Chain A
Amino acid sequence: MTHVLDPDALSDDARLTAPPLPPFSDITRSDASLRAFLHGLPGVDQVGAEARVAVLGTRSIKTTAKAWAIDTAISMVDLTTLEGSDTPGKVRSLAAKAKRPDPGDPTCPPVAAVCVYGDLAGVAREALAGTGLHVAAVATAFPSGRASREVKIADVKDAVANGADEIDMVIDRGAFLTGRYLDVYDEIVAVKEACGSAHLKVILETGELVTLDNVRRASWLAMLAGGDFIKTSTGKISPAATLPVCLVMLEAVRDFRAATGRQVGVKPAGGIRTTKDAMKHLVLVNETAGPDWLSPDWFRLGASSLLNDLLLQRQKLRTGHYSGPDYVTVD
């Protein structure tokens, strides 16, 4: 038992936050044991990951399978607007689009959620009342995450009070990269507690984590701390959601469920603009985590411009001729 020999290990009574699910209950006793666990995860073969996604990206999906993939992708979209210039009016028009993405076609499914800043969650909640669509709000000093714990918790509570039922938090990448994993863990646990019944999505901001090994470690850390979803990016920095990153995260949720029995969702966000990108992600989900994840409850696509491309492709399949940007809403 390594933690017994660990001089920094806290006794069960002294631990501030709840331990993770068995069989991992022991690993958060100290920074050292958590680091030992995370660094003990198998390394990621970057070249192998890139080759794997390249192969999966060549799958040809046509006709009825394509129609299914497009509708599934639409129902997984977290329709997002995260601009400083957002207004209640813009959020309301986004909510209208979320409910009926293609007003000319009642068979088009609605999206999964609308994702906004916390102060506009109330507007989104009101606009989506009675639809069953979720309201996601970014919180914890999004996108940098550079604020004190108290401010972040207050941010989350405010968003939940405004009506958000999904919270997208950012991890403290500074703490993660300097190796203070327990700080990151404690913060996620604290935010999860502040969420109450709201679902928690943990944004890893993989573009700042540098390596795929770090992505795997951050994924595990977020899942151990109780995140309901792990999300690639804020969408504010590039690179955002890339396929190799998504592959590593899908492997992590698959392995985590195998070890603990708890299923965690995945949300790639940012940089997914075309139907082809979206379909590559769906193939990746099916081939990596499995069909259990092919539902809006377990897989989301954080995007804004993607939806219009999905609608154009949907119209092309329905009418048999190419559509144009004049036939979808401008947002």
Chain B
Amino acid sequence: MSSDRLAVRKTYKLYVNGAFPRSESGRTYEVTDPRGHFLANAAWASRKDARDAVVAARGAFGKWSGMTAYNRGQVLYRVAEVMEGRHAQFCDEVATGEGLSGSKARAAVDAAIDRWVWYAGWTDKLAAVLGGANPVAGPYFDFSMPEPTGVVAVLAPQESSLLGLVSVLAPVLATGNTGVVVTSKDRPLPAVTLGEVLATSDVPGGVVNLLTGDAAELGTWLAEHADVDAIDLTGAPAGRAMEFEREAAGTVKRVVRPPATEPDWTADPGLSRMTPFLETKTVWHPMGV
């Protein structure tokens, strides 16, 4: 293989409703490494792509949330398997995109896959941990159980392009929600590959929708959108999070506020990223004669 082979330059597309459409706007932008070298072209999602993604996520919600928790866990575990098969590609993209050394990139990808498996394991344990029988003073069997809130918009972290993305996306899926994710603007390539992974695993189309583009542009539309039930502002641009939260209040969305600086994603997240996207349903069931 000689080095004079013509490079195959890639132009990636969005991942919406299980398909890979171009942006409705026709826009693309160049993705570069931290030193400014060209890596690929990515689609630059517009507000109409966000709208279509929400429609897709809403359409997929019934099936995804209706699956048994065990089955959902199996599907998510299968995603981790396919990610493992793409391990080298992820390492390459994380290393070039984030400017990490090979070993650090490998550690990040390993942690991301492990995180995905960890969340896959949580699907059928949440009800036991967060729900349960309530002691009530009356002839009722009273119990509470967590249910998914619906369509969750996620502004993914801008710095950590794979581990950060998995850390915000997997909890949305594990709890039975469907997601519309705006990826890191400058480092979208691991997210694009994750879209290819999701498309070739058992996740139904529309459960995850990945929009490469600008969170500052799309955040408003998702925060105001009446058919979005919750929004995770982790990747919101500095200074805009308050504005997005105010817009989200118009339709009383669940909001996850962004941390002041991007956290250490390797830390154990606990349940902190799952409980915001769950609603508690309590049933009073008459007992006795």
Contacts and interface: CB of A to CB of B under 8 A. Distances in A.
Interface string A289-330: 000000000000000000000000001000011111111000
A264 B116 CA distance: 63
B100 to A, nearest CB: 38
B23 to A, nearest CB: 17
A323 B224 contact: no
Nearest to B222: A322
B227 A321 contact: no
Contact of A326 (B54, B227, B247): B227
Contacts of B221: 321-322
A322 B47 CA distance: 10
Contacts of A326: 226-227
Nearest to A320: B224
Interface string B15-58: 00000000000000000000000000000000000010010001
Interface residues of B, number: 11
B46 to A, nearest CB: 13
Nearest to A327: B226
B132 interface: no
B227 A324 contact: yes
Interface string B218-238: 000100111110000000000
A323 B228 CA distance: 9
B102 interface: no
A322 B58 contact: no
A323 B227 contact: yes
Contacts of A321: 221, 224-226, 247, 250
Interface string B224-260: 1111100000000000000000010010000000000
Interface in A80-101: none
B169 to A, nearest CB: 22
A327 B58 CA distance: 14
Contacts of B224: 320-322
A326 B150 CA distance: 12
B84 to A, nearest CB: 37
A192 to B, nearest CB: 44
Contacts of B228: 324
Most buried by A among B51, B221, B225, B247: B225
Contacts of A325: 58, 227
A8 to B, nearest CB: 58
Contacts of B54: 322, 324
A324 B58 contact: yes
Most buried by A among B54, B58, B226, B227: B226
A280 B247 CA distance: 33
B227 A322 contact: yes
A324 B224 CA distance: 11
Contacts of A323: 226-227
A145 to B, nearest CB: 36
Contacts of B225: 321-322, 324
Contacts of B226: 315, 321-324, 326-327
A325 B221 CA distance: 17
A326 B149 CA distance: 14
Contacts of B58: 324-325
A34 to B, nearest CB: 49
Contacts of B247: 321
Nearest to A322: B225
Nearest to B224: A321
A323 B226 CA distance: 5
A321 B231 CA distance: 15
Interface string A199-222: 000000000000000000000000
A15 B224 CA distance: 67
Most buried by B among A320, A321, A323, A327: A321
Contacts of A315: 226
A326 B226 CA distance: 8
A182 to B, nearest CB: 50
* Top 8 closest pairs, chain A to chain B, by CB: A324-B227, A321-B224, A324-B226, A322-B225, A323-B226, A322-B51, A327-B226, A322-B226
Given A320-B224, A324-B58, 9 more contacts: A321-B221, A321-B225, A321-B247, A322-B51, A322-B224, A322-B227, A323-B227, A324-B225, A324-B226
12 contacts: A315-B226, A320-B224, A321-B224, A321-B225, A322-B51, A322-B224, A322-B227, A323-B227, A324-B54, A324-B58, A326-B226, A326-B227
Interface of A: 315, 320-327
